[in-house]
Structure 1
Amino acid sequence: MIVVTGATGGLGGAVVEHLLQRLPAGQIGVSVRDTAKARHFADLGVRVRRGSYEDPAALRDSFAGAEQVLLISGNDPAADLVSLHRSAIDAAVAAGVRRIVYTSQHGAAPGNPYRPSDFHLATEAILAGSGVAWTALRNGAYGSLDQVLGPWQRTGEIAQPEDGPVPYTDRADIAEATAVVLAGARAVDGPVALAAPAAVAFDDLAEIASSLTGRSVKRLVVDDEQWVADQVATGWPEQAARLMLSWYQAARAGYFAESSTLLAELLGREPRTVADRLAAAISAVG
């Protein structure tokens, strides 16, 4: 059995959907905080059990009988995520799981100014010492492009801090590739980059957006502190703005520049490009 944590979230839920296309529902389980939100999976024959990283006993029960567990990384910046991940790994080991697959971060490396890199590296170290087989899928940035580009469709400008090359990746592609790994189509061990094969910077994105829209989209570099002040003025908490700023700083320092062919190999096709995603965003608006 394969058990997926966080299956009521965007990535975890999509992974389960792809697993259902590859395996009988009876070979799939989910570990979720609220079982009512996973009723649609239960109706399909998926085993649904309550579990959360804060409750080791419930986790062990939700992992019982599993050969593999997918640990979706936590994202609460106020939580002690390393301790929570350790608890989840310990629960999986205690349940007799043979392989743990963890959703890590592309560009995780010592010195990365984007602080989530630290807890991903710490979690990978715990996995390495767990005594079971493990895989850390270092997922490329798969959030909304508008989150990193800003309101460019309204303003005609990508007015953000200095950046660097990033292999922006589609979440649907990551979910499908994760399901391929879990279903055993290909053995993947240790930390691996799971990201789009081409890294692009905002200058490139401005050119792509201009071509797609038929109007000039300009790239404007905003001073770091001015950008933080601008975000706070629009209602962002300063802590959140500075966390996002550290992501741009990591990009400009080259921490996200690595590209990889693994995603395409797992999918058996080329992943969606940034141009594809921008085109979809434009169509959704207009």
Structure 2
Amino acid sequence: MTKFVLTGSDGNLGRIAADFALEILKPEDQLVLTSYNLKLIPEDVVAGWRAKGAEVVEATYDDVESMKKAFEGAEAVGFISTWLFGDGRRNQARNVCAAAKAVGVKRVCYTSFVGAGCETDVEEEIPFLPRDHHFVEKTVKESGLQYNIQRNWLYMDNIPTLFAPSWKFCGDKWLSNSHGVPGAYVAREDCGRVFAALILGRGEPNTVYDVTGPEVVQQKDLMEWMCQQTGYKCEYVDMPDEELTKWWLDRGLPTDMATGDFSQLPMKLCIGDAICCGEMLGNGAMNSVSDTVEKLTGRKPARYQDYLLKYKDIFPKPE
């Protein structure tokens, strides 16, 4: 029997990974799913996981002892990056690696982000979103543990859920700074399944995997496709990074995710997050396609024309 642990199973990505891990888990193997608060997961979901043989326990990245207890006897542990930025996220990574090493875990898997593999260690030279991930990747690689790292491209889910709600606020415009450079947006569901596959050993040891969608596409084309579904009229407006930053700051978009007031704003993104999403397209970081999804899951990566239809009810609509 081989034991595998998936942490963060309460989150969007974690639940997808948990479901797929149970789907592909060998009957003789054991899966432990952790959450920092089991009350965040619907009771029927937890019951379903347990009915399929998973052990579901509480453990938090901020409590090494709780992780050591969950990790005991595991071959591999997967940890999912949280919404924290800076020292909080980095300390959590240190804690996971420390707990894993303390109880003899052989391999760790981490959900990283496009651009985290940049060569420089000068923080100011690394874009905002991959900055912490760059640090965490180094922490994992220097831990002495075997590793699998998946660098997720931007989720296509973010367009209808985070960015499209801002279009009416901006005067029926998508204000962006992608500068016309296309990117291979990926479905969050595909990322979750890839993570499960890596935890269960489908990847090569000490390997980094880029997780992309099946094609590169411009934001303008995505916007126009969404508008075709509802009849909404929207204009795509490209702006320099500095100009877009000022535009949102002038309207109160917070600089800090944890303490900011988003009550009067159309999207819950701090300024660094919002600007960097366009930057990762504009700098060409997402302008490539990999075969990771199909290679590790046996499924072709989702096309936005099919996948995003599940969000159609929240697409912007004409008044």
Which stretch of the first structure deviates more once superposed, 191-200 or 156-165? 156-165
> In 2, distance between residues paired with 1:56 and 1:183?
23
Q: Does 1:114 align with 2:127?
A: yes
Secondary structure of residue in 2 paired with 1:100: strand
1:173 pairs, out of 185, 190, 206, with 190
> In 2, distance between residues paired with 1:204 and 1:188?
38
The gaps in structure 2 that reach 5 residues or longer are 257-269
Aligned to 2:136: 123
Alignment size in residue pairs: 286
1:65 pairs, out of 49, 60, 73, with 73
Q: Does 1:266 align with 2:296?
A: yes
For residues 167-197 of structure 1, the C-alpha deviation after alignment (integer angstroms, 9 at most, x for no partner) is 1111111112222223334435421101113
Aligned to 2:15: 13
Aligned to 1:227: 244
> In 1, distance between residues paired with 2:63 and 2:79?
14
> In 2, distance between residues paired with 1:184 and 1:224?
41
Give the % identical residues: 23
Q: Does 1:282 align with 2:299?
A: no
Q: Does 1:56 align with 2:51?
A: no
Aligned to 1:253: 283
Tell me how far 1:209 sits from its aligned partner.
3.5
Aligned to 2:93: 85
The gaps in structure 1 that reach 5 residues or longer are none
Question: Is the CA contact 1:113–1:246 (under 8 Å) kept in the aligned structure 2?
Answer: no
Q: Which amino acid aligns with 2:76?
A: Q
Question: Is the CA contact 1:106–1:193 (under 8 Å) kept in the aligned structure 2?
Answer: yes
Question: Is the CA contact 2:31–2:55 (under 8 Å) kept in the aligned structure 1?
Answer: yes
Tell me how far 1:223 sits from its aligned partner.
4.5
Aligned to 1:32: 35
RMSD: 2.8
Tell me how far 1:78 sits from its aligned partner.
5.3
Secondary structure of residue in 1 paired with 2:287: coil
Aligned to 1:196: 213
For residues 220-256 of structure 1, the C-alpha deviation after alignment (integer angstroms, 9 at most, x for no partner) is 1234444334434555214411332133223211122
Q: Does 1:145 align with 2:159?
A: yes
> Structure 2-normalised TM-score?
0.78
Q: Does 1:183 align with 2:188?
A: no
Aligned to 1:41: 46
> Structure 1-normalised TM-score?
0.86
Q: Which amino acid aligns with 1:193?
A: D
> In 1, distance between residues paired with 2:253 and 2:229?
30
> In 2, distance between residues paired with 1:25 and 1:272?
31
Question: Is the CA contact 2:73–2:103 (under 8 Å) kept in the aligned structure 1?
Answer: yes
Which stretch of the first structure deviates more once superposed, 33-42 or 52-61? 33-42
Which stretch of the first structure deviates more once superposed, 59-68 or 146-155? 146-155
> In 1, distance between residues paired with 2:206 and 2:168?
41
For residues 122-147 of structure 1, the C-alpha deviation after alignment (integer angstroms, 9 at most, x for no partner) is 22222222222210011121242132
